[in-house]
Amino acid sequence: MSAPSLWLSPFLFAAAAGVDAPSQATFHSFSPTPRDAMREMVTDRPDTTESPFTVDPGHVQLEMDAFAAERDDGATELWVAASNLRLGLTSSLDLHLIVEPWRHADGISGFGDLTLRAKLNLWGNDGGATAFGVIPFVRFPTAAPGLGAGDVEGGLILPLTLELPSDFELGTMLELDETHRDDGYGTDLVVSGSLGHDLWGELGGYVELATSVPLDGPDDTELGVNGGLILQLGDDVAIDTGTRFGLTAPAPDFAWFVGGSARY
């Protein structure tokens, strides 16, 4: 899977498979879900683990790191307004455009890479003890040299959510990334698990373990522990903050971010 055309094929497959059966096609992007029929807002942030849930058709959801910083080996990398703009197409399919308007690393500042994703929910969007989805993505090298991947990259994400006793929720994710390296392309396996629970009122929290393992290169396994807080401000707005700590030498030492989500 070294050619960009192979990464685009699952993206197109997800778009085709996301066409709902007639019994589920009451709402779509040109016939939005009424406000009183919308599902609870679920976001793909602030943890690393993606969710299997999609945005209601005809609605837009903005998820943003207002500010993020990462420290590793004495160097600091910064992001401002890094955003995931999600558009609901059908009751089980949405599209994502991920942008980095401003990024700073190694003395270079500017626009980052663009990522295009599609999320297809296979089950659990409207309730149940489990939910599962498929997220193919393609990353385009729009960043200045030194700020991005430098070439087209892509991959596939498989998120699974489980409801646990005592109102705990476990989010898990398996991801295969085809990443650009100095000598060509290689495959990374990303695995994560995030345990969430309501803490007090509309305030919730999570703890998470995440690892990234190169499957065809040196043992540069990254392992980190993450945690954060989410405050729900009504049905359509949430703010959050969190930290990440590296547990192995290849992982970034420390990261911190503050952001939020809103849907329209």
**Does residue 162 sit within a domain?**
yes
For residue 25, the model assigns a pLDDT of 54
182 contact partners, CB below 8 Å, separation of at least 6? none
Total domains in the chain come to 1
Residues 115-139 pLDDT 10s: 999 999 999 999 999 999 999 999 9
Angle value at C-alpha 88, between 158 and 3, nearest 5 degrees: 45
Q: Is the pLDDT of residue 21 over 70?
A: no
Q: Which has the higher per-residue pLDDT, 55 or 24?
A: 55
Task: Say how far apart CA 127 and CA 18 lie, in whole Å.
Answer: 18
Range of the domain at 179: 4-26+51-253
**41-50, 114-123, 178-187: which has the minimum mean pLDDT?**
178-187
From the list 139, 52, 152, 43, the residue with the least C-alpha distance to 98 is 139
Q: In this structure, what token pair is assigned to residue 203? A: 């305030």
From the list 66, 95, 110, the residue with the least C-alpha distance to 239 is 66
Residue with tokens 């699952």: 10
**Does residue 38 sit within a domain?**
no
**CATH number of the domain bearing residue 157:** 2.40.160
pLDDT-based confidence at residue 5 (cuts at 50, 70, 90) = very low
**Does residue 44 sit within a domain?**
no
**Does residue 64 sit within a domain?**
yes
